[in-house]
């Protein structure tokens, strides 16, 4: 092929470029003339309206009115008359019905057209298609309503989402018994300050660990008063199966609720005499009171408390269960910490 036969590359016209940009951006333009009240619409405006057969033709208010949602037509006519009086309309959106049966929600923005003598001769109107944005808002609102319904059925004090590093936390549900920042979105640092100092190091260590986790920490609900909180953390997976954030469900273990069952606490090798004595003292019970509540003799309780070996090695398992049952009924909670230690709390 000779050089003379080579064809020049295609060069789009300004109108073609404008139409392509309008279509990609979901916008259109039209002008309203004070002289004849006619509207001249850009190609992008006709793309939005589905009226490409009218490209290049001046259209009137009747043409636009026929394609406007019935509930918006009165407002459209009023806006048109305000524009003709060189007054800015109060209504700036309308719903457009296309011939294919689809509905588009359009937002309008106005700017005066000024001639060379600085006289107002009309308006230029920028029209933005907000249909997808409105649909997204509705879907997000529905999703929040569904999540709220699901979380309301869960017996948890706190439901939350967090970033993978745990630094940004979004609250999805919160009971009245949890002291948290007032905003639904807060930082880990503001929450971390409420965690018992002895549990903070273990919490920081657990942040870098992936996969499902069950943790237990003491949380300050009132100044100087800590309550154990158990949390279940699950990864939220993306389309490729990779974790993108965390979902957490947390429950405060109030007196008589949560923690280890009495039988499980009695079987713990870490349950010993000094821990039982501390539990009894925390309730304000004397040995005779614990004996009365558990049915275990005072002499046996004294022998258990004086020993440092596990209770199940000093007395029968049933004896240990009676003691933990009595203490749990009195409001004591036996639970494991993040480091695997056995702890008690009210």
The pLDDT tens digits of the residues spanning 183-240 come to 666 677 877 888 888 888 878 877 767 666 777 788 887 777 777 787 888 888 888 8
- pTM tops 0.85, yes or no: no
Helix (H) or strand (E) holding 163, with range, is none
Both 23 and 102 in one domain: the answer is yes
- CA torsion sign for 131, 135, 141, 144 is negative
H or E segment at 29?
strand 27-33
Q: What are the two backbone dihedrals, phi and then psi, of residue 154, each rounded to the nearest 5 degrees?
A: -90, 135
Confidence of residue 174 (pLDDT cuts 50, 70, 90): confident
Model confidence at 17: pLDDT above 60: yes
- Residue 247, by phi and psi: left (phi above 0), alpha (psi -120 to 50) or beta? beta
Instruction: Tell whether 7 is covered by a domain.
Output: no
Q: Classify residue 147: in a domain, yes or no.
A: no
pLDDT per position as a tens digit, 26-37: 888 888 899 888
Q: Which pLDDT score is estimated for 218?
A: 82
Position 1 scores a pLDDT of: 46
* 110 in Cβ contact with 89 (< 8 Å): yes
In contact, 345 and 225? CB cutoff 8 Å: no
3-class DSSP state of 75: helix
Is residue 202 one of the residues assigned to a domain? yes
pLDDT score for 282: 75
Residue 247 bridge partners (DSSP): 161, 234
Based on the domain organization, do 48 and 85 belong to the same domain?
yes
282 lies in the same domain as 323: yes
The helix (H) or strand (E) run that includes residue 218 is strand 213-222
In a domain, 68, yes or no: yes
So what's the pLDDT on residue 201? 83
Count up the domains in the chain and report the number.
3
Average pLDDT along the chain: 80
What CATH number does residue 288 fall under?
Answer: 1.10.260.40
Region 278-304 average pLDDT: 81
User: For the sheet containing 93-97, what is the strand order?
Assistant: 58-59, 39-41, 27-33, 120-129, 103-114, 93-97
The more confidently predicted of residues 45 and 340 is 45
Query: For the residues 83-88, what does the mean pLDDT come to?
Result: 89
The verdict on residue 109 lying in a domain is yes
Residue 184's pLDDT is what? 62
Q: Let me know if residue 1 belongs to a domain.
A: no
pLDDT above 60 for 2: no
Two tokens at 332?
A: 């004591």
Give the model's pLDDT for residue 256. Answer: 43
Q: Which residue has the higher pLDDT, 110 or 334?
A: 110
Tens digit of each residue's pLDDT (9 = 90 or more) over 87-141: 888 778 888 888 888 888 988 899 999 998 999 999 998 988 888 888 888 888 8
Tell me: do 284 and 229 sit in the same domain.
Answer: no
Do 108 and 174 sit in the same domain of this protein?
no
> In which domain, by residue range, is 303 found?
262-345
């Amino acid at each position: 092929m000779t050089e003379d036969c080579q064809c020049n590359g295609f060069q789009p016209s300004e109108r073609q470029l404008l139409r392509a940009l309008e279509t990609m951006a979901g916008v259109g333009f039209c002008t309203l003339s004070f002289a004849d009240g006619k509207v001249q619409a850009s190609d992008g405006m006709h793309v939005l309206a589905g009226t490409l057969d009218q490209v290049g033709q001046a259209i009137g208010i009747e043409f636009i009115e026929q394609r406007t949602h019935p509930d918006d037509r009165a407002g459209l006519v009023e806006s048109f008359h305000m524009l003709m009086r060189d007054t800015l309309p109060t209504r700036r959106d309308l719903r457009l019905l296309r011939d294919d049966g689809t509905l588009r929600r359009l937002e309008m923005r106005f700017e005066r057209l000024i001639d060379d003598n600085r006289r107002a001769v009309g308006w230029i109107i920028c029209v933005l298609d907000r249909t997808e944005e409105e649909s997204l808002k509705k879907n997000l609102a529905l999703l929040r309503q569904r999540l709220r319904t699901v979380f309301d059925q869960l017996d948890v004090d706190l439901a939350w989402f967090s970033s993978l590093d745990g630094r940004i936390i979004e609250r999805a549900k919160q009971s009245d018994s949890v002291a948290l920042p007032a905003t639904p979105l807060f930082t880990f640092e503001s929450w971390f300050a409420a965690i018992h100092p002895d549990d903070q190091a273990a919490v920081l260590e657990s942040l870098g660990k992936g996969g499902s986790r069950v943790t237990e920490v003491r949380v300050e609900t009132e100044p100087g008063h800590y309550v154990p909180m158990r949390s279940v953390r699950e990864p939220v997976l993306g389309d490729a199966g990779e974790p993108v954030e965390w979902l957490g469900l947390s429950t405060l273990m109030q007196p008589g609720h949560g923690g280890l069952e009495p039988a499980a606490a009695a079987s713990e090798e870490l349950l010993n005499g000094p821990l039982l004595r501390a539990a009894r003292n925390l309730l304000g019970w004397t040995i005779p009171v614990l004996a009365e509540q558990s049915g275990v003799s005072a002499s046996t309780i004294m022998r258990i408390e004086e020993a440092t070996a596990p209770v199940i090695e000093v007395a029968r398992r049933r004896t240990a269960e009676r003691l933990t049952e009595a203490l749990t009924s009195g409001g004591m909670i036996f639970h494991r910490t993040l480091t695997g230690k056995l702890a008690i709390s009210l």
